Amino acid sequence: MRTSTINRRTAETDIALTLHLDGTGASQIDSGCGFLDHMLTLFARHGRFDLTLTCKGDTYVDDHHTVEDIGIVLGQAFAEALGDKKGICRYGSMMLPMDETLILSAVDLSGRSYLRFDLKIPTEKVGTFDTELVEEFWLAFTRQAECTLHLRQLAGENSHHIIEGAFKSVARALRAAVAIDKEFANEIPSTKGVL
């Protein structure tokens, strides 16, 4: 079973996360940040990942450390659950519409971390959530998951829709990338022989 449990404690956050890649989309999320809870719940559902997360963070300062550190831990969990990546499809992409918004995401589980972030979120906040933290989350995730992620907004005006569309799109792209390719189930999907 492709699962991972990560516990990470710093002076700023205390996080416990369990990820099951071959799940049903079930989740229990308590990050201390309501908007992030919403994003991670739909991320789990659209990726069909089982995800359990608790975080106690210094949200009295702001949500920055909580959001970034959860991105770190989620990325670590993906890397650990994938192991040597034998048999995975490796690549995934999704063009996802959400009302007026259209988001393209493409991922390569290459072992190399790179984020291309082309979202133009028009407001500084959604509720109390600082929208600049969306980029911080995906940057932390890609560094730890050691994947390449391109996120591009092709249309969109509503900040909530843009961010939600991005989380859903990435989830579905990752779902495709982590899937086992039955024809090549015993092979590493690289001419190098390692990812």
Q: Where are the domains of the chain?
A: 3-184
Tokens of 87: 């048999």
Query: pLDDT by residue (tens digit) across 64-121?
Result: 999 999 999 999 999 999 999 999 999 999 999 999 999 999 999 999 999 999 999 9
> How much is the pLDDT for 1?
84
- With a CB cutoff of 8 Å and minimum separation 6, the contacts of 108 are 90, 91, 147, 148, 177
> How much is the pLDDT for 193?
84
pTM for the complete prediction? 0.97
CATH number 3.30.230.40 given to 3-184: yes
Q: Are the C-beta atoms of 139 and 71 separated by less than 8 Å?
A: yes
Q: Is the pLDDT of residue 186 over 90?
A: no
- With a CB cutoff of 8 Å and minimum separation 6, the contacts of 182 are none
